[in-house]
Amino acid sequence: MKISSKNISDKKLQELIKWTPHEGGQDEVLKSKARFRVLACGRRWGKTEVASYMAIKKLLIPNSIVWVVAPSYELTKRVYDRVVTFLAEIFPPSEGEFAARIRPTPNIGTNWGSKLECKSADNPVSLLGGEVDLIIIDEAAIVDNNIYYQYIRPVTHDRDADIFLISTPRGKNWFFDEWIKAKDAGGAFTFKSWDRPTFSQEEMKRIKEEFPPQIIKQEYEAQFTDAASSVFSIGHITNCMVDFDHKINPEYNYTIGIDLAMSYDYFAAAVYCHETKSIVHVEKKTTDWAGQKQRIKTLHFTYNVGKVIVDTTGVGSPIYEELYHDGILVEDFHFTNITKRRMIDKLKSRIEQETITLPKNDDLYDELSSFQVNISEAGNAIYSAPRGGKDDLVDSVGLAIWDSDPNSPLLQQDRKRRGRNKRRKNKKAGSFV
């Protein structure tokens, strides 16, 4: 091997890989001599580039072992891909000095005995044993604290490995604790997205107009805020939840929101009464396709041939089409980032204004209180349950109130159709209830 980071300057190495740290903080991080470096920074600041450069410096030392850990193997590929690009600038692939593979997991092997291995925090068995010289943990704030302390930290002891944690904050969890600990040794850093010199003023303006302040503080200003990603206020959720016994009134109009179940998920339903402005029924269960279709028909006829709004994302279209052809008053709703955001924003407004009544239901409370909004790498708001959580009931409630505006022309048309359909209720209800 002709090149080693022990005998080459940073300036020369950066020339070889055609990369220069920007003066918005990347240069500051690389100058730190701290063994533990914890980098909290906003989206698109360039934390992946810094981590990849650190990996290259370590890999160029013979017989070094580098681990890249992330919440999933897919996320490890951000650093992995950049490292492969850097190595290819130094050693043309035709020379065979290194080999990069993505199966069974992303890894890089070199002719001088150094290697890079990608590890998923979702697969803790892969983190057992071994010795390392550098561990990079990407999106560290969403890695479970038990995985970090029980599986990752122990493998750093034998070789006094360097540890580099990079992430946008997620409240004051273990990542925040490690950031505090690293401050005394000069290893804690915080940078805003717009500290990057190439971050445009136009983009900054768009972000500040589009996202709520608490999300901007967390995702772009890298502040350790409490529950910044929570969508629904626990206080408002509690105030909206009432223990009541709803009696079906033949004059009332109902809408039924349906979140269909896949093979690994739950069927969820919520029923909204327009006159009382209440979610009068929620349920969540596992059942097959036939069972879901039967249950939807039962709810439809039980609640005054109420309108059904069905999530047709993925494989939901066949059930919607069958219901439609069976004469059920049904509407399809296809989830995209935009449509889900509009739906959730409507539900959020009703809960914040406390203009909706919700049933006291533990599953619904848990889903609402943990429901989150996060920002994707492309800068889009993503509404979802936390990693490992569920949002089936949240979606069904959101669908149930989707047409709840009393002045909606569509709702007025639906009421006329409900009136016609009610005349069929006595003929068909017995087949489904």
pLDDT in tens, 290-339: 899 999 999 999 999 999 999 988 777 888 999 999 999 999 999 988 89
Helix ranges (DSSP H) in 60-93: 73-90
Examine the domain organization and report whether 355 and 392 are in the same domain. yes
Closest to 195 (Cα-Cα) out of 392, 22, 75 = 22
Q: Which two tokens stand for residue 323?
A: 């219901």
CATH number at residue 50: 3.40.50.300
The DSSP letter of residue 4 is -
pTM of the model: 0.63
CATH number at residue 290: 3.30.420.240
Instruction: Give mean pLDDT, residues 197-206.
Output: 93
- Indicate the pLDDT class of residue 390, thresholds 50, 70 and 90: confident
Helix ranges (DSSP H) in 8-106: 10-17, 26-31, 47-59, 73-90
Examine the domain organization and report whether 40 and 132 are in the same domain. yes
Query: How many other C-beta atoms are found inside a 10 Å radius of the C-beta of residue 70?
Result: 26
Instruction: Give residue 1's pLDDT.
Output: 56
Examine the domain organization and report whether 126 and 189 are in the same domain. yes
Rounded to whole angstroms, the Cα distance separating 119 from 330 reads 46
Examine the domain organization and report whether 204 and 265 are in the same domain. no
Please report whether residue 5 resides in a domain: no
Instruction: Give residue 417's pLDDT.
Output: 53
Instruction: Give mean pLDDT, residues 7-14.
Output: 90
Please report whether residue 220 resides in a domain: no
Examine the domain organization and report whether 300 and 373 are in the same domain. yes
Examine the domain organization and report whether 107 and 168 are in the same domain. yes
pLDDT in tens, 131-158: 899 999 999 998 989 999 999 999 998 8
- Indicate the pLDDT class of residue 387, thresholds 50, 70 and 90: low
pLDDT at 83 over 70: yes
Average pLDDT, the chain: 88
pLDDT in tens, 154-165: 999 888 999 999
Examine the domain organization and report whether 165 and 242 are in the same domain. no
Please report whether residue 223 resides in a domain: no
Examine the domain organization and report whether 261 and 371 are in the same domain. yes
pLDDT at 407 over 80: no
Our measurement of the distance from residue 282's CA atom to the centroid of its chain's CA atoms, rounded to an integer in Å, reads: 25
Q: Which domain holds residue 80?
A: 10-211
pLDDT in tens, 51-73: 999 999 999 999 999 999 999 99
Please report whether residue 320 resides in a domain: yes
Examine the domain organization and report whether 184 and 120 are in the same domain. yes
Closest to 41 (Cα-Cα) out of 182, 187, 193, 197 = 193
Rounded to whole angstroms, the Cα distance separating 306 from 297 reads 10
pLDDT in tens, 110-125: 999 999 999 999 888 8
- Domain edge (last residue) among 179, 211, 243: 211
Rounded to whole angstroms, the Cα distance separating 100 from 116 reads 9
* Total domains, the chain: 2
Examine the domain organization and report whether 251 and 200 are in the same domain. no
Rounded to whole angstroms, the Cα distance separating 433 from 431 reads 6
Of 65-69, 344-348, 426-430, which gets the smallest average pLDDT?
A: 426-430
Please report whether residue 197 resides in a domain: yes
**CA-CA-CA-CA dihedral for 46, 68, 161, 193, to nearest 10:** 20
Examine the domain organization and report whether 128 and 205 are in the same domain. yes
Examine the domain organization and report whether 302 and 199 are in the same domain. no
Q: Which two tokens stand for residue 116?
A: 């890079």
Rounded to whole angstroms, the Cα distance separating 85 from 80 reads 9
Please report whether residue 362 resides in a domain: yes
